[in-house]
Chain A
Amino acid sequence: MINKIEKYIQKIVELEQFIANLFLLFIMFIITLDVLGRNLWNKPITGTVELTELGSALLVFFALAMTHRKDEHIGIDFLVDRFPLPLRHFMIGVVEIIIAIVLFLMARHVFDNGLRMMERNATTTDLALPMYPFLFVVMFTLAIFALTAIFKAIYRFRRAVRKS
C-alpha cells in the first residue's frame, strides 16, 4: 500500500520536474522574443515581465520536490556525520518529519493566500491574469514536496531500525 502510494508520488515528482523544465524554456524564449520584437519590429510581447516572473516562480516550485528527492537542498552535515549510523538515520528521519510539517503548514497558508487573492480579484498587471490559480498550484507542489519528505523519513526510520 505505502509502496504503491510512493510510486505514485514519484511519478508526480518526475512529471513536476518535466513541467519545471518547460517553464525554464518558456522564460528563455519569451525574453528573447520580446527583445527581438522590441528592437526589430517595435512590437514587444505584452506581459513579458510578468510572464517571466510567473514562469520563474513556477519552475522553482515544480522543481522543489525533485530537488529534495535528490538531497539537493543544502544542509550542513558537519555534526551529524560524526554520529553512529543508526542514530544518523534516525536523526535525519526526524529532520524529514520536521521538513514535512513546515511544508504542510506552508502549503496550507499559501492556499489561504490564494483564497484571499481570489476574493480580492488579484491579477497580474499587463495581462490581468488571475493570481489565485498560481497559488493553488504552488500549494500542490509544496504538498508533494512534503509527501516526498515523509517517504524519505520512512526510509530513514527503517534503516535506523534495521541497523540496530
Chain B
Amino acid sequence: MSPEMIGWLGIAALLVLFLLRVPVSISLIIVGTVGLAIIRDWESAVVQLGTTPFSTASSYSLSVIPLFILMGMFLSYSGFGKDLYTAVDAWIGHIKGGLAMTTIGTSAMFSAISGSVNATTATMARIALPEMEKYQYDKQLSTACVAAGGTLGILIPPSVILVLYGILTMEPIGKLLIAGLIPGLLQMVLFMIAIYILVSRNPAIAPTTNKKSFSEKLTSLTKIWPFIFLFALSIGGIYYGFFTPTEAGGVGAFGAFLLTLLTRRLTWEGFITSLSATTRLTAMIFFILIGADIFSKFLALSRIPVAITQFVSQLEFSPLMITFLILVVYFILGLFLEGIAIFVLTLPVVYPLITMLGYDGVWFGVVMVFVMNMGLITPPLGISVYIISGVAKDIPIEKIFKGVIPMLLMMVVCLLLIVIFPGIVTFLPDYMR
C-alpha cells in the first residue's frame, strides 16, 4: 500500500473514531501512532508517542495559552465580565444583536494583545458566553460569535502565524503584521453584518432590552475601568516594548489577579475555581494539540499534502483559477490538519507557484491566515470549536459547528473580496514604505 493510501485510510479511521465517541485527542493519537507504524515501523511510532507529549506541551509559544485563559477566568468569576456586558447592554442593548457584536468587538481588542487564536478564543469564551446566556442569547449564536471573534487573533497584530509565514517564505515580517490589520477589521465588520442579518431573520435568538436612561448609561461606564486598565496595560506594554506578546499573557493574568485582589471581588472559592478551570481547559486543549502533532507527523509522512498541492500546481489553468483551486485544497486540508502543519507541509510547493503567477507574497500570507482560520472552525478537526465546547458544556458540539456556518460564509466573502481586491491587504504595507 502506498503511503498516500495509508494516509487516506487514516483520515477515514479518524472519522470513525470520532463518531464512536473516542475523545478527539485520543483519536488523533491512535491514528497518528498506528499510521506512523504502518508507514515506517512500530519502533519509531512509539518513540513519537514517548517524545511528542512533553515536547509539544513544553513549547514556549503555547505556554501563553493558560495565562490568557486565567485572565479570562479572573475577569469572569470576579464579575468584571458581567459589568462589561451590563455597560454594553445599557448603551446598545436595544440594538439587534448588540451583545453579540460586542463580543466580536471585544475579541478584536483581545486580538491586539494576543497573537494566537486559541488564546483569544479561550479568553473570550470564558468572558462572553455566560454573559450572553444571561441575556438569553441563543447558544448557537453566542458560541459562533466567540469562534468567529477568536479568528481575529492572528489577523490583527501581533500574530504568531504571520511571523511564522514570514520566516517560512522570507517575506518582510513587519509588512506582514501590518497587512493583517485592515482585513482583520473588515472581517470584524462582516461578522457584525452576519449577526445583524441572523438576528433580523430570527429576533428570538438575541432578545433586545429596553433603552436605558442617560444616567444609567453613565453609571454603567464607571464599572468597566478594569477592562480599560487591562487593555491599556497589555497593549501599552507590548507597544512600548516592556514585554513581548507572549509575556503579555503572564502580565495580563497578573493584572487581573491584582484587580480582583484590590477590589475584593473574587472569593477564595472563586479564585480556586478560576485556577482549576484554567488548568483543566488547558489540559484539554494541549492534549488535542499533542494528538494533532502526532497525527500531522503521520500525514507528513503520507505525503498527501504535498501530493495534492503538487497536483493542483501542475494544472494548466489561468492564475485566478489555480489560486481558486489552491484555496479549495487548503479548505480540504484545513478540515483535518492543524494550521501550522498545513503551512509547513504545503508552502514549499504553493508559495513559489503563487509568486510565479505574479501574486504578492505578503498578500498571500494574509490569504493563508484566512484559510487557516477556516480550518479552526470546520469539523472534524476544529480546535476553536473544541475550546468553546470546553467552556460551553450544555450545547452539543455539532450545534456549535452548525452555528458557525454563517460566520464561515462571511470568511469566504472576506477572502473573495481580498482575492478580487488585493489592495485591501497590500494598501497599508505599501504605504509604510
Chain A residues in contact with chain B, CB under 8 A? 17, 20-21, 23-25, 27-32, 34-35, 39, 49, 52-57, 59-64, 66-67, 70, 72-81, 91-92, 95, 98-99, 102, 105-106, 108-113, 134-135, 138, 142
Contact = CB atoms under 8 A, between A and B. Distances in A.
A51 to B, nearest CB: 10
Given A24-B66, A64-B287, A57 B54 contact: yes
Contacts of A98: 22, 26, 30
5 contacts: A32-B251, A73-B24, A102-B26, A106-B29, A142-B53
A112 B253 CA distance: 36
B50 A113 contact: yes
A112 B21 CA distance: 30
A15 B253 CA distance: 23
Contacts of A25: 275
Nearest to A59: B279
B58 A57 contact: yes
Given A35-B242, A39-B242, A64-B283, A78 B60 contact: no
A99 B25 CA distance: 10
Interface string B1-43: 0000000000000000011111111100110000000000000
Contacts of B62: 56
Contact of A52 (B63, B257, B390): B63
B284 A74 contact: yes
Contact of A72 (B54, B59, B250, B284): B284
Contacts of A27: 63, 66-67, 250
B234 to A, nearest CB: 12
B243 interface: yes
Nearest to B18: A76
A112 B49 CA distance: 10
A135 B55 CA distance: 10
Interface residues of B, number: 59
B20 A74 contact: no
A17 B63 contact: no
Given A21-B272, A59-B66, A75 B24 contact: yes
Contacts of A142: 53
Nearest to A31: B250
A24 B70 contact: yes
A28 B257 contact: yes
A92 B22 CA distance: 8
Nearest to B24: A74
Contacts of A77: 21, 396-397
B282 A60 contact: yes
B47 interface: yes
Contacts of B51: 113
A32 B284 CA distance: 25
Contacts of B57: 56-57, 60-61
B335 to A, nearest CB: 14
A138 B21 contact: no
A103 B391 CA distance: 24
Nearest to B393: A72
Nearest to A139: B50
B288 A74 contact: yes
B19 A79 contact: yes
A31 B251 contact: yes
A76 B283 contact: no
B169 interface: no
Nearest to B240: A39
A86 to B, nearest CB: 15
B218 interface: no
Contact of A67 (B58, B250, B280, B398): B280
A20, A49, A63 pick with most chain B CB within 10 angstroms: A63
Contacts of B110: none
Given A56-B63, A74-B397, A109-B46, A35 B250 contact: yes
A158 B363 CA distance: 58
Which of A60, A91, A111 has the most C-beta atoms of chain B within 10 angstroms of its own C-beta?
A60
Contacts of A60: 57, 66, 279, 282-283, 286-287
B19 A102 contact: no
Contacts of A78: 19, 396-398
